[in-house]
Structure 1
């Protein structure tokens, strides 16, 4: 694995190459958003159109640890914590997160990752290899307040050039609420994983919980994974994975960012409640209305926290 090139100009160039001919969705103000429509699921145009067939053939290992989350929910942060917990508290090689995301790499690449692999994905349960559950892999489902997700995803998708989208927040939000952006529908994602969790062993975490009690959450993760470190180790882990530390990695993404602003692609601000600075009153009312309609009959952690 040491021979792999994780640096910009290596794996990132391959990952961000447009693959196939995209379908053009449009936001509410007419701005085009190219996506791959795979059996009704929307993916970025840099994701191979054969992604579902690819996932069916993915070899799963007994000791794999799988992350499931909608984008912009803290997956990279949590991934780095879990990697250290399971790799003698050492920092992951630069770019390893991309090698562990099956949507982004070939079977040869992902099979070259040493065990235990910390696999991460944004896909829905229907396209996850079912051997994940047969082999009883550890699984972590991470969610974040949907309003923070929506705005953070807007910044991400309008900054990363490979998305090919440069619309406005006003045009984007209604499209996001309909689930027509690349990486699909937040509502469908949380609902399907919530239903799946009724029948499989899966650790459920919220981004807000991790921010409020990082130490307690790290201990919870460690217990679930069956690893144990000292109190001092956990506190050091918090310091070494703090947003202010890992933001230094954003410079890798500058070359792939609109205006060279790599910070808006990956590790942004990590704040809870930033949505309040960007939603208008009308946007907030629309969001709450859609949320209540889409989540009707399925109680969820954010039901009573929409405006907080």
Structure 2
């Protein structure tokens, strides 16, 4: 089974988290915190020399904004239109793994999926220099925070936060793994019109998956027929992905594909937290193109 190695890598990372507390799980590199179980300073140093290819399919998102879902859709587009199935022998996130990973990636056939949760400024420069296409997936900040909290507190081996309040405070301060949601959003907003950058939202995919798959295929230049798009979209329906998640992602599957709904934040946020999030959104994204795309008034207000 081609994904066996991939599942092993995920399970190895979860195993490493056992018995750690939060302060042991997170380490700081150049001012941002990351999980020590999958990232290291040595890997980040090696990543600076990562050699991108023009036909790399670069997928970017803040954690818990739907990137694992996106990876499945793009994998399916490759398999369906190019009739090739790539073996998942590495964790797809370029910042996760050992420093030798980039040498092994040189052997991967094109097009390679290059996924990352990294801030724009920390993405290897060769990706932009070689004009690889970059698809960025964003999700409304309240659901992103809620999903991130549940991931931490539902995974048996990952250290939990004592409470939602504790997590919310860390999230707002950018002291969670991969740093601040708002720092990432502000920076991507500056690049929203860059050539080769396409920003899509989780909510758009949820509202019309068929149209979303079609746009992803067009952006990356896949010559997919209407019939192929339709069958990829049906396989990418959240319930179908969740049903296969144990097979594709091992024990982490049901954690990565938990609910897949919009508005789950309502069970966690209190009034003061809602106001704090709204003030932060206003400060960072009011009047911006990305802010408009995120439809805060639609998805983040009761």
Determine if the TM-score, normalized by the shorter chain, exceeds 0.5: yes
Aligned match of 1:28: none
Q: Distance in 2 between matches of 1:279 and 1:74?
A: 21
Superposed CA deviations along residues 97-119 of structure 1, whole A, max 9, x for unmatched, are 95332122322443343211111
Aligned match of 1:304: 297
In structure 2, stretches of 5+ residues that fail to align are: none
Structure with the largest fraction of helix: 2
In structure 1, stretches of 5+ residues that fail to align are: 26-31, 257-261
Give the conservation status (yes or no) of the 8 Å contact 1:141–1:203: yes
Whether 2:258 is the aligned partner of 1:268: answer yes
Q: Distance in 2 between matches of 1:110 and 1:194?
A: 30
Superposed CA deviations along residues 201-250 of structure 1, whole A, max 9, x for unmatched, are 21110111111111111111111122222222211111112211221344
Q: Distance in 1 between matches of 2:24 and 2:175?
A: 9
Q: Distance in 2 between matches of 1:208 and 1:189?
A: 18
Give the conservation status (yes or no) of the 8 Å contact 2:10–2:250: no
Aligned match of 1:36: 27
Aligned match of 2:128: 133
Aligned match of 2:163: 168
Superposed CA deviations along residues 108-143 of structure 1, whole A, max 9, x for unmatched, are 443343211111100012211111112111110110
Higher relative contact order (CA 8 A, sep 6+): 2
TM-score by length of 1: 0.83
Whether 2:6 is the aligned partner of 1:12: answer no
For residue 202 of structure 1, the aligned residue among 191, 197, 205 is 197
Whether 2:60 is the aligned partner of 1:68: answer yes
* Mapping 1:123-272, distance limit 5 Å: 123-160=118-155, 163-251=158-246, 263=254, 265-272=255-262
For residue 110 of structure 1, the aligned residue among 92, 105, 109 is 105
Q: Distance in 1 between matches of 2:59 and 2:234?
A: 22
Give the conservation status (yes or no) of the 8 Å contact 1:67–1:118: yes
Taking a change above 3 Å as real, the CA distance of residues 81 and 249 of structure 1, as seen in their structure-2 partners, is: same
Deviation at 1:144, TM superposition (A): 0.4
Deviation at 1:7, TM superposition (A): 5.6
Q: Distance in 2 between matches of 1:155 and 1:104?
A: 21
Aligned residue pairs: how many?
290
Q: Distance in 1 between matches of 2:75 and 2:250?
A: 25
Give the conservation status (yes or no) of the 8 Å contact 2:134–2:196: yes
Superposed CA deviations along residues 143-177 of structure 1, whole A, max 9, x for unmatched, are 00110000000011223355433421121111101
TM-score by length of 2: 0.84
Q: Distance in 1 between matches of 2:2 and 2:214?
A: 33
Aligned match of 1:45: 36
Deviation at 1:268, TM superposition (A): 0.8
Q: Distance in 1 between matches of 2:2 and 2:174?
A: 39
